[in-house]
Amino acid sequence: MGRSRDVWLRRFPGAGGGSGAEWELVCFPHAGGSAAYWRPLAVALGPGADVAAVQYPGRLDRLREAPVEDLHRLADLVVEALGPSGGRPRVLLGHSMGASLAYEVAVRLGRLPGGGPDLLVVSGRRAPAARRRDRYVPVEDHELVERVRALGGTDAALFDEPELLELVLPALRGDYRALSSYEDTGGRPLTCPVVALTGDRDPEATVEEVGAWGAQTSGAFRTHVFEGGHFFLNDHVEAVAGLVRRLLPTRAAG
């Protein structure tokens, strides 16, 4: 189990946290993204939170591994790596594709005795009930590049360098293949609270589409709308950190 965690989870030197922290936050990157995307949030949360970001195969220090092109298989692998929470409150936070993956991980953890997360935060992702029937999935490399540029992600500048482009495209292709074949776990499988975050100008997920996440849980649900597009998180790190702290169970919120 320890080796599996080392492969899948990344922590951030200088961001505090660690095994002595009061609660754990597990973060899931967007399509084409890496664990490093979550470093600013880890710093903002400080030493009270043990922030672990999932590093998908096929990028950065896992570049030589083939991307996992099935979100359900990816969720199974992450659950195996996470293991039990050890009695600490555990929060899952995913953005875009990572929101769907965090949801699937939450569903699987909830099937284990005492394994469910204390809170699921989904960001920039349409709820399963709001799936767009005419969803467009880019196929050609140039389509992938243009899509990432249009969304304004922090990794978009990588596509200006041909050498870097060759390194990141395999992971991006794999992620979009996973998205194109993904069918969510239906029904209302969660009992934990769910919080949905969205940007008011996000073309990928409208406020209404994100607000439908409440149908996936029997627990409490709320939506928070921020100013911005698909990557609104980049401009609201401190606000998101404060929001997560406020929504934690009482024993960890202090």
CA angle 5, 6, 7 (to 5 degrees): 90
Ramachandran bin of 92, using left for φ above 0, alpha for ψ from -120 to 50, beta for the remaining angles: beta
User: Which range, of 75-79, 111-115, 123-127, 141-145, averages the lowest pLDDT?
Assistant: 141-145
Of 223, 224, 227, the residue nearest 235 (C-alpha): 227
In three-state secondary structure terms, 92 is: strand
Mean pLDDT of 82-111: 95
Contact, 95 vs 233, CB < 8 A? yes
Report the pLDDT value the prediction gives residue 254, as an integer from 0 to 100: 43
Look over the chain and give the mean of its residue pLDDT values, rounded to a whole number.
88
What whole-number distance in Å separates Cα of residue 174 and Cα of residue 45? 31
pLDDT digits (tens, 9 = 90+) for 171-200: 989 999 999 899 999 889 999 999 999 999
Who wins on pLDDT, 161 or 30?
Answer: 30
Contact, 55 vs 62, CB < 8 A? yes
Report the pLDDT value the prediction gives residue 131, as an integer from 0 to 100: 75
Contact, 198 vs 124, CB < 8 A? yes
Active-site residue set: 96
| β-pair partners for 46 | none
| 161: pLDDT strictly greater than 80 | no
Which run of H or E residues covers position 148? helix 141-151
What whole-number distance in Å separates Cα of residue 52 and Cα of residue 8? 9
pLDDT digits (tens, 9 = 90+) for 59-74: 999 999 999 999 999 9
Who wins on pLDDT, 6 or 253?
Answer: 6
pLDDT digits (tens, 9 = 90+) for 108-117: 999 998 889 9
Report the pLDDT value the prediction gives residue 3, as an integer from 0 to 100: 59
Mean pLDDT of 30-39: 93
| 238: pLDDT strictly greater than 80 | yes
The DSSP secondary structure of 207-236, one letter per residue, reads HHHHHGGGGGBSS-EEEEEESSSTTGGGG-
Mean pLDDT of 102-126: 95
The answer to whether the pTM exceeds 0.95 is no
Confidence tier at 251 by pLDDT (50, 70, 90): very low
Mean pLDDT of 50-60: 95
pLDDT digits (tens, 9 = 90+) for 130-157: 876 545 566 678 787 888 778 876 556 6
Which residue is listed with tokens 């050609």? 140
CA angle 28, 37, 209 (to 5 degrees): 55
Report the pLDDT value the prediction gives residue 144, as an integer from 0 to 100: 79
